[in-house]
A = this chain, B = another copy of it.
Amino acid sequence: MTHTIADIAAALGLDAAGDTSLAVTGVAEPADAAPDQLAMAMKPEYAEALPKGRARAAMLWAEADWQGMGLDAAILAPRPRYALSALSEMMDPGQGYPRGIHPMSVIDPSARLGADVSVGPFSVIGADVVIGDGTVIGPQTHVGWGTSIGAGSLLHAGAKIGARCTIGARFIAHFNSVIGNDGFSFVTPEASGVERARESLGDQGEAKGQPWARIASLGGVTIGDDVEVGASAAIDRGTVRDTRIGNGTKLDNHVQVGHNTVVGRHTLLCGQVGIAGSVSIGDFVVLAGQVGVSDNIRIGDNVICGGSTIVLSSIPAGRVMLGYPAMKMDQHLETYKALRRLPRLAREVADLRKAVSKETPSG
């Protein structure tokens, strides 16, 4: 499928320049671009690689000198990375799941499927499931009894969704993602060592082994609109009420969200983030890869945590954090600079002690 530069620019609401009737079949990095590909040269340093490729047209920043780069045409974007969003959607060939209801799927007769719903081979749709219009359910997926999924959603191969979950429109579940498995909730007959160590900050008292009794998860998972759950990610169902994920929130691969946790709107949980149970996370939060959050923590709106930050206590809105345990990022950078110098500092203190004790022999 080909698009002219003029058509692409019009679709993206951007300015085009040069021979805008030129047609492209796809996009490429500048050094790899064939003559029929649109080069993604969104920053001056990327544009430097244009001569290595054979692009005749490129997506560039607003004030770029496209003619000086030897191009025949250009699309000029004030924020090219943002423009890439619409452009990439336009160019995306997708996973190519076949449309229609595959005969080798198992769909409970009580399930209600909207218009133009597809169900791939080897998928299972449980009793009383409701699927919104146009949703594509890929192969080898499972949608449990009583769950509803909104219109325009996409379940990739192997996604598993448990019973009694409520999911909004335009939901995307990536390969082998899991929504609505049981929470990890166990209790001992008497107070456990963990309970005592938490109270005392480190002393579990007399260690005494007790077997764990299981607490079943009676709640489900409620997910808003425009949510995405990454490959092999997992969202536990709640104990009594639902675990909740707000509109527009995105979870990357291997993210774990514990039972009863509430995540706000437009929040990003990056790869391998782990959220324990009963956590509250605000709107517009960004937790970078491998961030860990202890149970019963509150993270305010607009908080940003850098990679692998470990959150052991609550964070007020708007903070930027880093480290284990989490500190304000500027404080972390200063502290760890001092930490690298700590062996030298220790030697300086030893020298000072000698010097001072020499001066004051009586002490």
Q: Give, as a whole number of angstroms, the nearest-CB distance from A133 to chain B.
A: 20
Interface centre among A84, A228, A239 (most CB of B within 10 A): A84
Q: Which residues of B contact A115 (CB under 8 A)?
A: none
Among the stretches A1-9, A16-24, A66-74, A269-277, the one at the interface with B is A269-277
Is the CB of A298 closer than 8 A to any CB of chain B? no
How many chain-A residues does the 8 Å CB contact rule pick out?
A: 152
B324 touches A335 (CB 8 A): no
Number of copies of this kind of chain in the complex: 3
Q: Which residues of B contact A193 (CB under 8 A)?
A: 284, 286, 302, 304, 320
Q: A96-B145, A176-B158, A215-B85 are in contact. Are A181 and B276 (CB under 8 A)?
A: no
Tell whether A45 is near chain B: CB-to-CB under 8 Å: no
Q: Mark A291-308, 1 if CB is under 8 A from B, else 0.
A: 010100000011010111
Residue of B nearest to A333 (CB): B201
- A352 close to chain B: CB less than 8 A: yes
Partner of A253, one of B234, B286, B320, B342: B234
Give chain A interface residues in 14-38, CB to chain B under 8 Å: 26-29, 32
A204 to B284 Cα, complex, angstroms: 12
Task: Give the docked Cα–Cα distance between A335 and B207 (Å).
Answer: 25
B355 touches A356 (CB 8 A): yes
With CB as the reference atom, state the residue of chain B lying closest to A328.
Answer: B202
> Among residues 322 to 363 in chain A, which have CB atoms less than 8 Å away from a CB atom of chain B?
322-325, 327-343, 345-346, 348-349, 352-353, 355-356, 358-360, 363
Which residue of chain B has its CB nearest to the CB of A201? B333
| Cβ-based interface call for A79 (8 A) | yes
Residues of B close to A88: CB separation below 8 A: 215-218, 239
Is there an interface contact between B304 and A79, defined as CB atoms closer than 8 Å? no
Contacts of A62 in B (CB 8 A): none
**Closest partner residue, chain B, to A138 (CB atom):** B142
In the bound complex, residues from chain B placing their C-beta under 8 Å from that of A86 are 213
Q: For residue A90, which residue of chain B has the nearest CB? A: B216
Name A332's closest neighbour in chain B (CB-CB). Answer: B202
Q: Are A253 and B175 in contact (CB under 8 A)?
A: no
Assuming the contacts A95-B162, A214-B228, A356-B355, asked whether A310 and B312 have C-beta atoms less than 8 A apart, the reply is: no
Residues B234 and A232 in contact, CB atoms below 8 Å apart: yes
Task: Known A307-B310, A333-B202, A352-B352; judge A230-B184 contact (CB<8 A).
Answer: yes
A63 contacts partner chain B, Cβ-Cβ < 8 Å: no
Are B204 and A318 in contact, CB atoms less than 8 angstroms apart? Answer: yes
0 or 1 for each of A253-288: is its CB under 8 Å from B? (1 = yes): 110101000000010101110101000000110101
Q: Are B352 and A356 in contact (CB under 8 A)?
A: yes
Given contacts A139-B124, A329-B202, contact A276 B289 (CB under 8 A): yes
Contact B317 A207 (CB under 8 A): yes
Could you tell me the distance between the alpha carbons of A348 and B188 in the complex, rounded to whole angstroms? 44
Please tell me if A44 contacts chain B, counting CB pairs below 8 Å.
no
Tell whether A174 is near chain B: CB-to-CB under 8 Å: yes
Known: A184-B250, A184-B271, A349-B349. 5 other contacts (CB 8 A): A85-B213, A96-B145, A175-B234, A184-B230, A356-B356
